[in-house]
Structure 1
Amino acid sequence: MDALASRTIKTTCPYCGVGCGVNASVDALTSDVIIEGDKDHPANFGRLCSKGSQLGETLGLHDRLLHPAIGGRQASWDEATDRIAEAFSQAIEQHGPDSVALYVSGQLLTEDYYVANKLMKGFIGSANIDTNSRLCMASSVAGHKRAFGSDTVPGTYEDLELADLIVLTGSNLAWCHPVLFQRIAAAKQKRPGMRVVLIDPRRTPTAELADLHLPLTPDTDVAIFTGLLRHLARSPAIAPDYVETNTSGLDETLSNASSWTIEKVAEQCGLKPSDVALFYQWVAETERTVTVYSQGVNQSASGTDKVNAIINTHLITARIGTPGMGPFSVTGQPNAMGGREVGGLANMLASHLELANPEHRELVQTFWGSPTIANKPGLKAVDLFEAIHAGQIKALWVVATNPSVSLPDANRVDAALAKVPFLAVSDIVSSTDTLRHAARTGCVALPATGWGEKDGTVTNSERMISRQRAFLPAPGEARHDWQALCNVATKMGFGEAFSFENPTEVFDEHARLSGFKPEVRRDFDISGRAGLSQVAYDSMPPFRWPLRANGSQTERFFAGGAFFHADSRAKFVTTPVKAVEKHQPKYPFTLNTGRVRDHWHTMTRTGRSPRLSAHMGEPYCELHPDDASRLGIEPASLVRLSSPHGSIIVRALLSDGQQPGSVFVPMHWNDETASNARVDTLVKPDTDPMSGQPALKSSRVTVANADMAWHGFAVVKKRPPSLPFAYWSVSKCAGGFALEFADKTSPDDFSAVAQAVLQSDCFVGLQDRASADARFLAYESESLLGTLFIAQDPVKVSRRWAIQALSKPLPDAAARVALLAGRPPTDQPDTGPTVCACFSVGRNTIASAIGAGAVTLDAIGSACQAGTNCGSCRSEIAAMLPPLAVVKETFDEPQAV
């Protein structure tokens, strides 16, 4: 530890696909990890979002999985990997190689991903390896390959700053990719003529930057871009020479688009014709146009068509591969791109080679010296778990992901994990919805290293490969995922091909494969980084691929054509427009799922941070006020959402930004953090026929009051082992845990509830049985153990004040009585719900600054620091400003964390 703590380590953030550089150092005295943005990293230049800024709070050994286990009992690594190798080998011998599978993750480093792919496709001989990246960007891969002949992202982040028009579609960039949002905001401030269009059914925080928001009907993106293609073909923006020389298929594609007039598009998409016309005019007249798209495009049963509809508009105008132009897919995970590079998807091979191409299969098999090579696509994520139900999969290894929460029809996925004959799960935490199934007899749990302990590379959305470096030792018996895979491969008889001693050797093999037989043309090539010494690998700076053996690079692709189809032409792809789904009286709401600003995936990391849980600490659904009024739903009441696949209970959040008839629910909560809030239990298992990506944003649901008899809120130092209520959620807070709960029947005496929640017999309280109002606190000497507030309706108490009280002394009876009052004393003003997670600034503090005359974002930042670090909260702050205030946004220089 001392050697590692004595210097700052440059590494990369483990969250979204922006791939921000991070400086991490360990305080030699306290062992605290100090996090700062890396000003030298080309992705972020020192900026970090709220999640990245708080990475230090997510570290530690609490809840870590530290030892291998078989059937829930601690085991040695030898015993555990023997068991995996035996289970896989027996299944292969008895049922063939397609009876086993790996389900992996965009959280893996490229070196982990490479070894997993090599083992399954080149030595086991099956392509049954898929990844949770299937849920995030598979439609982009399919769309790229249809259009370009390869999975190539043409542009770079710099294009976002050089563009004169940015079209953001299906992307809440302000919350999901905040640093890119900041880069655009800074560019727009310097060049006020730059325009931003947001295409999104919801009015999200990203809309604060938009010059035009198009709140289209959900899942009608193909229509709006098909109409745009028609418009561009009839405008001076068309580039006939480029189209003639470098593309094919335009006539058929335009024939498909011929009827999509502005009026027809507006009707299909639920938009004003004048807004559609203005959008089309801006695109036609603006050469430097970038279209940024993300999960709102990809996560659809027509996601690939949406991607190609976007790409078509750039091909017809030759706005691709040139500074400030191009279609741009931003990925959701830190190494979704690295996984694509090594063939992590079930229908791909390493080095962007094609599994369906015999020449490509021969190339990879020859390089690996493997006894076999998969010769057909494997099972994609949703199909994989259906195959388990059908009895086709006998052994499954889940690595670094939580499919019980993240896959559609999640209850059925959970049942599959309980049913598969053999299951191994590699994870860093000791308890997840998926990991609990590995406690079954004969199943295996393996402790993995996490961020700060792992060493390898990741690739971000602009093809930038960066090092993720270790600055902490591996805890307990945790091992790197590539090591665990090599252990099992060796025990299956493949030891010679998996004798890697360190990630440098894995990276070197990956780099050499990318340049092997260069006459076989492909876009991905990092052979210029082959042969690195350990020292050179350790110090390797970020670089963008391709970087060829001769040192040549390609900054942007396709400005001069040279696509990767056999004829070197891009293909216009005809994208039929689906009819808008008719209203369904039984399930009248369209469910949209997604992320919140400060949480990540299933919260195994961000859920450990009190600051990140302070902004949104409880599962919720966002409803339009008109829908809520019609259904008799009050703000903050608990509601039940149901679909043919399941039901959940969440808190109601009313928002004018939500479309009537639609409801938004975040994806993060799970059975570890709430009683019944796994939103993907509601989601239908429909997938895009080309990409296999699930349609996570278009299921149909009902919304109704959950009809609770009473509600509770508590803050406690220790998390209760169980919460036997109809609804509960738990989040980490400073000094302990914050609990929300409710039940359908009221007890005569709430003392038993207090004892269960506060976990103490030493408590005092007040009860009004007639109104179901009660307040309790537990203490030991002068130390507060917890407070509990119960009411007939959702509890109205200052949660932030109650949390702060948990760490303060409780010297006498007067202090206890004051605490039971449920509100701060006059000399301790209530700062309100957290708005700025970076500096823990509450809404009331910001309102006070506004009242004192701070009516710009800069002035509020000067008064209370809110919005001066990552900037993710600036849109929320802007919404609090007086309507006539002149808001001056400053994004030029990132602030120190």
Structure 2
Amino acid sequence: MKDQGVSEICSTCPYCGVGCGVRLLADGQGGLTVRGDPEHPANFGKLCSKGSALGETVGLEGRLLSPRVHGREANWDEALDLVAQRFRETIEQHGPESVGFYVSGQLLTEDYYVANKLMKGYVGAANIDTNSRLCMASSVAGHRRAFGTDTVPGTYEDLEEADLIVLVGSNLAWCHPVLYQRILAARKARGTKLVVIDPRRTASCDGADMHLALKAGTDAALFNGLLCAIHEAGALDKEFLATVQGFNEALIAASSDRDTVTGLSEAQLAAFYKLWIGTGKVVTVYSQGVNQSTSGSDKVNAILNCHLATGRIGTPGCGPFSITGQPNAMGGREVGGLANMLACHLDIENADHRAAVHEFWDSPRMADAPGLKAVDLFRAAGDGRIKALWIIHTNPAVTMPDADAVTKAIADCDFVVVSDITAATDTARLAHVLLPASAWAEKEGTVTNSDRTISRQRAALPAPGVARPDWEILAEVGRRMGWREAFDYACPAEIFREYAALSGLAGTLGRDFDISAKAELSDSAYMAMAPFRWPASATRNGGRFFADGRFYHPDGKARMLPIRYRPPASEPCTEFPFRLNTGRIRDQWHTMTRTARSPRLAAHLAEPFLEIHPEDARRLGIAPADLVRLENPQGKAILRARITDAVAPGDVFAPMHWTGETAPSARIDALVAANTDPVSGQPESKASTTAVARFDAAWYGYAVSATEITPTADYWARACTRAGWRAELAAAAQPEDWEAEARALFGLPDAPCQTVIDARRGVARIAFHDGDRLIAALFAGPEPVALKRDFLATLPGTEAPDALTGQPPADRPDPGPLVCSCFNVGLNTIVAAIETQGLLSVEQIGAALEAGTNCGSCRPELASILAAAQAKVAAE
């Protein structure tokens, strides 16, 4: 869709579930300018740091441009014939349950639909699951148990109409910054209160009215306590409770399982309960901190119980709100991408639903039971039950719990197909067949965001090489497996029309998901389709659910469940005394396949780290910038220590983004135990246990290079820069020849070099030049080397004869470590502005430097820098 008078294309951001609209402008040479779409209802023109940097991520470096079969280039006919043949033969010899698909929230809805139809309706098994299982399956289970279907009751507008917003296990400021900015705007405009419930102090706590740092995993006990307090305060909505079953049982369970395990004081609990009960309009936003648990479904239902008991659901400014992690996690839920669901929120366990879909698809067979969920799917690949596996747009060798075991399972599987945009992932390296897929900005389709808004993704760039859209690849395999007519799609619009028509059938079966008003869209109308919120049918358009007390269980009533607190599956012990929490950081996305291509995103936190409390660090002899080794029964990791009281004693936190491509020792999911929620199948990614110890490195190093660095040290982490690459290094044994080590690191066997080496002290500085132009440099020593890292990262390719000093010259100021990614503002620049201009607030910093004025996710860091500067002045 092109706007009048301009050549911008309206599309949707490919990152989180906020679903921000973007406008794309191609330069005709493979480049892309990206800005927020001021007319999109999710973001009204705002973008976070990642969305703002999308234009830096679309180059062709590392792209998979043609199919590969057993490591060699092949054409599409050879590759697809082999895929179809091996899947067909496997099904014939071992049955439909011997094959599986593992797909992704990066898929568009049309891709998801074809994959789901192929597996469940034509292969005849339900062994298709999605990486969304890792982020929101517990929310799906909680919704289905309470409401009868997987319905998000509210809308983003509720965040602006609420008088109290409670963030539970959600670092919204970093993970969904655009929504967080909508909340901050509401706080400024109407005094909305904000409570953050999280064991860890995050950026979302900045400026909150209350931070409840509860003991990890005790959310259900906290909300059980709230339910009891609601009852004791006489705050029940008895009229609404007439539409709900199970209140008495839920209250009895809650009363026997009060909030004493949370670690919060009676005063904290009382203050929170009083605020929640005494505020009429409450939205409880929850995310991975709730879902990623062996009791995640129960935590969700404990939250839903409180909203149902008070009737605070489905009305403006009221309701529970699940915020999803991926751009089309919701679309995957709607289209049946999970192993235990059918398309359009139909239930695979329901014979009438199965029969309706079977008839609609006119398929030869139909899955009649839930398939293998993600953890079980890879276990089955490892033990030989799954003999053919197709992985699409995801990297389970890094992201799955017990990732080393998953890597082995994929390697041991008889036949593995991977569809992706690159061959350079831990998973792609294990494939027998690699299929080149179109990337974001190259393909057409739809996505659904967290508040049920369906938006178009549109192509602004041509697909490189012979890359194809995923729906086309899947449909072609379906045709080659013998189902030509069923998969004879010509375009995404045709798939969307079929999907919309099926949703109308679901509507007649009493389901909530119905977009049948779109079933007759022409191709041109589909191409021009504006964002809309489902449902979209002859009888209903958009809006909220459940204020009328009508739910989707057979009797039309909601269910409150009796919830009892269950601790995490792994408890700290003498051998593994630390509780390991994992999550995201501000400027990176999943396994960095896209974001690691952006120098400004890589500059904020350029290497993996472990947050550890100062008391624990002192006890273990860990100093700032030391490396630490983590170890448990699943695996090992080496990370940089980040000593902070943001985590409680006994708790540690590590981000989940680094891979074999960027920091092999930091694949943190290798330490996450494969314990799952018995209802949702979602892994417990935030409560494994581990031992922590200082990593005794013989040397530490920092390297910069104009070309890609390929380290072999025990620890290394690399990131791109505008000038090339940077890397942190460490190893347990010192090299015998420092110059030889540097030449091997940079692949420069013959380049002239400048050296400063003190072998006795273990100090080495080595620079390679072409004339005065710096090619690469290595700085090493027996302790973490103190250098102006961000300055040094700018030098490759420039005239830098004095690079080995590690310091900027007097006439070249060092901006310092990056703080604001949106506007490339560094720490030193901010401190200098505070000191020289007398800046007294974050707003004044923004006015002076622009920092913090776009997505706002750096504002907490700006506040900390300002406070430190003011404390320094006060002490002088």
* TM tier, smaller: over 0.9
Secondary structure of the corresponding residue to residue 194 of structure 2 = strand
1:850 and 2:834 are equivalent in the alignment: yes
State how far apart, in whole Å, the 1-side matches of 2:299 and 2:152 are: 16
Secondary structure of the corresponding residue to residue 641 of structure 2 = strand
Structure 1's 98 and 748: CA in aligned 2 closer, same or farther, altered over 3 A? Answer: closer
1:827-854 deviation line (CA, Å, top 9, x unaligned): 2222111111111111111111121211
CA apart distance, 1:749: 3.2
Matched-pair contact (CA < 8 Å) for 1:758–1:785: no
Matched-pair contact (CA < 8 Å) for 1:836–1:842: yes
CA apart distance, 1:759: 2.6
Structure 1's 423 and 688: CA in aligned 2 closer, same or farther, altered over 3 A? Answer: same
State how far apart, in whole Å, the 2-side matches of 1:578 and 1:375 are: 32
1:646 and 2:635 are equivalent in the alignment: yes
Secondary structure of the corresponding residue to residue 831 of structure 1 = coil
1:746-804 deviation line (CA, Å, top 9, x unaligned): 23431112212233232111111222111111111342211211111111111111012
Structure 1's 258 and 555: CA in aligned 2 closer, same or farther, altered over 3 A? Answer: same
What is the CA RMSD across the aligned residues, in angstroms?
Answer: 1.6
In structure 2, the residue matched to 1:319 is: 312
In structure 1, the residue matched to 2:18 is: 18
Structure 1's 710 and 864: CA in aligned 2 closer, same or farther, altered over 3 A? Answer: same
1:306 and 2:302 are equivalent in the alignment: no
Matched-pair contact (CA < 8 Å) for 1:5–1:27: no
In structure 2, the residue matched to 1:730 is: 718
In structure 2, the residue matched to 1:890 is: none
Return the match for 2:244 from 239, 243, 247. Answer: 247
Matched-pair contact (CA < 8 Å) for 1:5–1:26: no
Return the match for 1:627 from 616, 625, 631. Answer: 616
State how far apart, in whole Å, the 1-side matches of 2:571 and 2:520 are: 59
CA apart distance, 1:260: 4.6
State how far apart, in whole Å, the 2-side matches of 1:457 and 1:626 are: 49
1:73 and 2:61 are equivalent in the alignment: no
1:776 and 2:766 are equivalent in the alignment: yes
1:156-204 deviation line (CA, Å, top 9, x unaligned): 0000111000010000000000100010011101122x11110000000
In structure 1, the residue matched to 2:743 is: 755
Please, which moves more after superposition, 228-237 or 443-452?
Answer: 228-237
Matched-pair contact (CA < 8 Å) for 1:14–1:107: yes
In structure 2, the residue matched to 1:133 is: 132
CA apart distance, 1:530: 1.1
1:459 and 2:444 are equivalent in the alignment: no
Return the match for 2:734 from 746, 749, 768. Answer: 746
In structure 2, the residue matched to 1:592 is: 581
Matched residue type, 2:90: A
Matched-pair contact (CA < 8 Å) for 2:108–2:446: yes
1:209-237 deviation line (CA, Å, top 9, x unaligned): 31000000000001000000011112232
Matched residue type, 2:187: K
In structure 2, the residue matched to 1:148 is: 147
In structure 1, the residue matched to 2:476 is: 487
Matched residue type, 2:810: T
In structure 1, the residue matched to 2:508 is: 519
Matched-pair contact (CA < 8 Å) for 2:506–2:514: no
State how far apart, in whole Å, the 2-side matches of 1:124 and 1:827 are: 68
Please, which moves more after superposition, 779-788 or 424-433?
Answer: 779-788
In structure 1, the residue matched to 2:340 is: 347
Structure 1's 869 and 519: CA in aligned 2 closer, same or farther, altered over 3 A? Answer: closer
1:63-114 deviation line (CA, Å, top 9, x unaligned): 0000001100111101101111111111110110000000000000000000
Return the match for 2:253 from 228, 234, 256. Answer: 256
In structure 2, the residue matched to 1:330 is: 323
1:282 and 2:271 are equivalent in the alignment: no
Please, which moves more after superposition, 400-409 or 512-521?
Answer: 512-521
State how far apart, in whole Å, the 2-side matches of 1:460 and 1:283 are: 27
Matched-pair contact (CA < 8 Å) for 1:129–1:378: yes
Percent identity over the alignment is 54
State how far apart, in whole Å, the 2-side matches of 1:826 and 1:515 are: 70
1:233 and 2:218 are equivalent in the alignment: no
In structure 2, the residue matched to 1:370 is: 363
1:563 and 2:560 are equivalent in the alignment: no
Structure 1's 62 and 3: CA in aligned 2 closer, same or farther, altered over 3 A? Answer: farther
State how far apart, in whole Å, the 2-side matches of 1:57 and 1:582 are: 43
State how far apart, in whole Å, the 2-side matches of 1:723 and 1:82 are: 39
State how far apart, in whole Å, the 1-side matches of 2:478 and 2:256 are: 56
CA apart distance, 1:582: 5.2
Matched residue type, 1:85: A
State how far apart, in whole Å, the 1-side matches of 2:195 and 2:360 are: 47
Matched-pair contact (CA < 8 Å) for 1:24–1:34: yes
Task: Return 5+ residue gaps in structure 1 as ranges.
Answer: 811-815, 887-897
CA apart distance, 1:724: 2.1
* TM-score of the aligned structures, taking structure 1 as reference length: 0.95
1:874 and 2:871 are equivalent in the alignment: no
**Count of aligned pairs between the two proteins:** 866
Matched residue type, 2:25: S
Matched-pair contact (CA < 8 Å) for 1:855–1:882: no
Matches within 5 A, 1:298-697: 298-438=291-431, 443-516=432-505, 518-548=507-537, 550=538, 552-579=540-567, 583-697=572-686
Matched residue type, 2:845: I
In structure 1, the residue matched to 2:200 is: 202
Matched residue type, 2:790: R
State how far apart, in whole Å, the 2-side matches of 1:55 and 1:608 are: 9
Matched residue type, 1:846: I
Matched-pair contact (CA < 8 Å) for 2:21–2:42: yes
Matched-pair contact (CA < 8 Å) for 2:30–2:461: no
State how far apart, in whole Å, the 1-side matches of 2:637 and 2:266 are: 38
In structure 2, the residue matched to 1:894 is: none
* TM-score of the aligned structures, taking structure 2 as reference length: 0.97
Please, which moves more after superposition, 776-785 or 502-511?
Answer: 776-785
Task: Return 5+ residue gaps in structure 2 as ranges.
Answer: 872-876
Please, which moves more after superposition, 834-843 or 450-459?
Answer: 834-843
State how far apart, in whole Å, the 2-side matches of 1:530 and 1:594 are: 39
Matched residue type, 2:111: D
State how far apart, in whole Å, the 2-side matches of 1:520 and 1:476 are: 45
1:648-702 deviation line (CA, Å, top 9, x unaligned): 0111111111111011011000111113111011011100000000000000001
State how far apart, in whole Å, the 2-side matches of 1:465 and 1:583 are: 43
State how far apart, in whole Å, the 2-side matches of 1:614 and 1:4 are: 38
Matched residue type, 1:772: G
1:263-294 deviation line (CA, Å, top 9, x unaligned): xx2x3111111011000000110110000000
Matched-pair contact (CA < 8 Å) for 1:767–1:775: yes
In structure 2, the residue matched to 1:889 is: none
Secondary structure of the corresponding residue to residue 315 of structure 1 = helix
1:32 and 2:31 are equivalent in the alignment: yes
Matched residue type, 1:27: D
State how far apart, in whole Å, the 2-side matches of 1:672 and 1:382 are: 23
State how far apart, in whole Å, the 2-side matches of 1:554 and 1:460 are: 13
Matched residue type, 1:276: L
Structure 1's 143 and 402: CA in aligned 2 closer, same or farther, altered over 3 A? Answer: same
Return the match for 1:830 from 790, 814, 828. Answer: 814
Secondary structure of the corresponding residue to residue 804 of structure 1 = coil
Matched-pair contact (CA < 8 Å) for 2:30–2:59: no
Matches within 5 A, 1:91-102: 91-102=90-101
Matched residue type, 1:578: R
Matched residue type, 2:371: G
State how far apart, in whole Å, the 1-side matches of 2:760 and 2:12 are: 56
State how far apart, in whole Å, the 2-side matches of 1:724 and 1:232 are: 59
Matched-pair contact (CA < 8 Å) for 1:236–1:284: no
1:348-394 deviation line (CA, Å, top 9, x unaligned): 00010000000000111111111111000000000011111221111
Structure 1's 380 and 626: CA in aligned 2 closer, same or farther, altered over 3 A? Answer: same
CA apart distance, 1:885: 7.6
Matched-pair contact (CA < 8 Å) for 1:528–1:551: no
Structure 1's 744 and 396: CA in aligned 2 closer, same or farther, altered over 3 A? Answer: same
